[in-house]
Amino acid sequence: LSQQTRLTAGTDLRFIQQSLDEFASGVKGFNFFDQVNSPLPKSQSANPGLLAELRHDVDERLSLTAGTRVDYVDARVDDDPANLQMLGIDGASLAAILGTDQFDQNFVPWAAFLTGQYQLDDDWKLTFGTGHSERPPSLTELYVAESYLFLLQNGENTATGDPQLAPERLTQIDLGLQLNHDRLRGGANGFFGWIQDYITFEN
């Protein structure tokens, strides 16, 4: 736009296909199970996104940068329904394990930020910023059906997805001070974040 103002814009596309077959045999109580599958069924996620960033030098001391991103995420199970009927050591359907048959999910996560830096004098510079971002759940977090994940090393614990998860959300503010004086350099930075709908394991 000008020497003081610069605009960058773009788009991208992420496409993920994922699946896992995990077969196990053993005894649960008085029931023997043989080669039962606890899978992440064949699933996919398509994610086109738009992004833009604007930088403006207000004067010799102050510069500001603002940016935003908007995504559309379409996640779905793309497996043969016949493969989703007898799963896990109890031989249940994928819908019974996950608690719903609404596998197709759509998300519109977005992100935006504003950062700046102000040159207090020849040696000291103040930096600041605030932003918001969202992360949609992964295919594993949505659809995994009683798999033994390496993240859980505690006996017989398994992981089960939830197709009704909401995206994680984070809002954060940052403040920093930097010193650059001859041979002496240093700085201090602090931040505070508010996290909502954090995705984690539930016992």
What is the model's pTM?
Answer: 0.82
Instruction: Check the CA dihedral 130-134-140-145 and report its sign.
Output: positive
DSSP structure class, residue 4:
S
The rounded percent of the chain whose pLDDT value lies above 70 is 96
46-85 pLDDT per residue, tens: 999 999 999 999 988 999 999 999 999 999 999 988 889 8
Q: How far apart are CA 68 and CA 7, in angstroms?
A: 12
At 12-24, the pLDDT tens digits run 999 999 999 888 8
Q: What is the pLDDT of residues 157-183, one digit of tens each?
A: 788 999 999 999 999 999 999 999 888
